[in-house]
Amino acid sequence: MKKTNIKLAILSLSAIVMVSMTASAILADIAAHYPDVDLNTVQMVLAVPSLLSMFFALLSGPLSGKISKKSLVLFGLISGFAGGMIGLTLGTVHIALLIFASVLIGVSQGINSTMTMALIADYFSGNERGAMMGLQSAFVNGGSMAILFASGLLAGIQWNMSYLVYLLFVPVILIVWRYLPKDNQKHEMMEEDADGKMNAVVYFHCIVMMLFAMLIFIYQSNIAMFISSNHLGNASTAGFINSFGTGIGMVTGIFFGRIKNLLKDKILPIAMSLMGLGMLGIYFVGTIEAVILASFFNGFAMSSIIPTVMFNVSSAVSAAKSSNAIALANGSMSIGMFMSPFVMNSFAESLRPGVLEFKFFISAVGLVVLAFVILTGNYILANGEAIKTIKASKALQE
């Protein structure tokens, strides 16, 4: 019964953890509402949560060793709710207030995106951990699908009405308050684990997550503007497209265990290559059908890559270090998302000024290259582990 209650708390939290992405469907409307504001500043509404998410994702791991994860989660939920209400009531007044709302939302996202995975690593192990991480991804996407669809419909009334979805934080706060254990799960710490150092597997996956986030954020921060500028639809259309992608992500999460067993260590490069293919479709074809296909691949990629990376880093270290490893990987993803508008926009503008579609081409090429980097990295890491095993075996024989 206790584990069932913990699952309920973790999964309800997971359902709203990516609520900040609702802003991706209304960026074009925000830009229209603030015509004198630079486009990069408007995109900060979506990018600022990534910045704050970066800091709090990194901080939440070490903090969870000093205060209870329940307290951290509740603080994050209250921050997110406050940010949503500010966006709803004051977002139309000044862009600075909208960005401040994004600050609070970013605090929430950083803490709770890390804590959902850290709680799974605390209370579940082995295949059950992998299954729970897949299920967590399914709830992230299922919740996002419903939230994005609802926010898209609300944005059709007026763009700031999309922030009404943050009222969903209220029941989640009550569930977490009621069912999540107050004290952290205790782990036995071996002497060699006391220094808290990470290993090559963790650092490699962190680099991968940062680069992946930089490339994938091109889709998230530009798709609404692409749809609008090419007269393919409006904010409601963008909301539907995003909801479709998260729906695919939900299904992928449910079957994540089977997909992982089937694709094994090829799951990361395959998922990234498919997403790159979707980006190429947007660049070369540019129709609503191409956007829908890219959304399909995006949903599959996100729900394959994130739980795989989190499972890999949490399994590569001791139980006592798992929260820190997850925080580091999650923080790396947030760093990539925050850097993306500055690095990728500048790079695209230097090559093809004013061509929005070219950003998707850059993303496609980058994702395919990253897929090959992962294949190479996996091979090197596997050989390194094999050498360590052989040396350890010889040492025992001697």
The reply to whether 307 falls in a domain is yes
Q: Report the 10 Å Cβ neighbour count for 143.
A: 23
% of the chain surpassing 70 pLDDT: 92
**Which pTM does this prediction carry?**
0.78
Q: Is the pLDDT of residue 186 over 60?
A: no
With CA atoms as reference, report the closest residue to 115 among 42, 191, 17. Answer: 17
Judge contact between 185 and 123, C-beta under 8 A: yes
Does residue 263 sit within a domain? yes
- Mean pLDDT, rounded, for 195-200: 69
Report for 36-45, 235-244, 347-356: range of highest mean pLDDT: 347-356
DSSP code, position 198: -
Q: What is the pLDDT of residue 194?
A: 41
Question: pLDDT digit string (tens) for 130-155?
Answer: 888 989 989 987 887 788 778 888 98
Q: Answer whether residue 390 shows pLDDT above 70.
A: no
The CB-based long-range contact list for 341-348 (8 Å cut-off, 24+ gap) reads: 341/40, 341/43, 341/44, 341/47, 341/217, 341/221, 342/40, 343/214, 344/214, 344/215, 344/217, 344/218, 345/40
Inter-residue contact 105 to 219 (CB < 8 Å): no
Question: Is 80 exceeded by the pLDDT of residue 192?
Answer: no
Question: Considering the domain boundaries, does residue 190 fall inside one?
Answer: no
Give the type of residue at 284.
F
pLDDT reported for residue 341: 83
What's residue 77's pLDDT? 96
- Give the number of other CB atoms < 10 A from CB of residue 223: 24
**What is the structure's pLDDT at 189?**
47
Asked if the model's pLDDT at residue 86 lies above 70, the reply is: yes
pLDDT of residue 220: 83
Give the chain's end-to-end CA distance (angstroms, integer). Answer: 49
Lowest mean pLDDT among 44-48, 212-216, 299-303: 44-48
Q: Domain containing 339 — which CATH number?
A: 1.20.1250.20
Q: Tokens in use for 147?
A: 């939230």
Mean pLDDT in residue range 18-33 = 83
Q: Residue 271 in contact with residue 359, Cβ under 8 Å?
A: no
Structure tokens, 227: 């749809």
Residue 85, class by beta-carbon neighbours within 10 Å (0-12 exposed, 13-18 middle, 19+ buried)?
A: middle
Give 84-89 contacts, CB < 8 A, sequence gap 24+. 84/19, 84/163, 84/165, 84/166, 84/167, 84/169, 85/163, 85/166, 87/160, 87/163, 87/166, 88/160, 88/161, 88/163, 88/164, 88/166
Task: Give the range with max mean pLDDT: 329-333, 341-345, 373-377, 382-386.
Answer: 373-377
**Alpha carbons 115 and 119: distance in angstroms, whole number:** 6
Determine the 3-state secondary structure of 1 from DSSP: coil
Q: Determine what percent of the chain is predicted with pLDDT higher than 90.
A: 42
87 pLDDT higher than 60? yes
Question: How far are the Cα atoms of 118, 164, 359 from residue 327, in angstroms, in the given order?
Answer: 8, 29, 29
Torsion angle, CA of 92/93/99/102, rounded to 10 degrees? -50
So what's the pLDDT on residue 385?
62
46-55, 120-129, 132-141, 178-187: segment of lowest average pLDDT: 178-187
d(CA 251, CA 262): 16
Q: How many domains does the chain have?
A: 1
Question: Angle between the 126-157 and 288-315 helix axes, to the nearest 10 degrees?
Answer: 150
Q: 132 is written with which tokens?
A: 């729970």
Q: What is the distance between the alpha carbons of residues 380 and 158, in angstroms, rounded to a whole number?
A: 52
The whole-number pLDDT of residue 342 equals 85
Between the alpha carbon of residue 180 and those of residues 6, 13, 80, 82, 119, the distances in Å are 6, 11, 19, 22, 10
Does some domain include residue 192?
Answer: no
Residue 189 lies in a domain: no
Lowest mean pLDDT among 147-156, 191-200, 312-321, 326-335: 191-200
Residue 193 has pLDDT above 60, yes or no: no
pLDDT at 61 over 90: no
Classify the phi-psi angles of 196: left when phi > 0, otherwise alpha if psi is within -120 to 50, otherwise beta: left
Which of 72-81, 237-246, 249-258, 320-329 has the weakest average pLDDT? 237-246
Higher-confidence residue of 188 and 128: namely 128
160 and 92 Cβ atoms separated by less than 8 Å: yes
Residue 107: which domain range? Answer: 2-182+198-397
Per DSSP, 352 falls in state: S
The answer as to whether 191 is a domain residue is no
Average pLDDT score over residue span 342-369: 92
Looking up tokens 């401040």 gives 100
- Distance, in Å, from the CA atom of 351 to the CA atom of 84, rounded to the nearest integer, reads 37
pLDDT value of position 387: 55
Mean pLDDT along residues 271-294? 95
pLDDT at 20 exceeding the cut of 80: yes
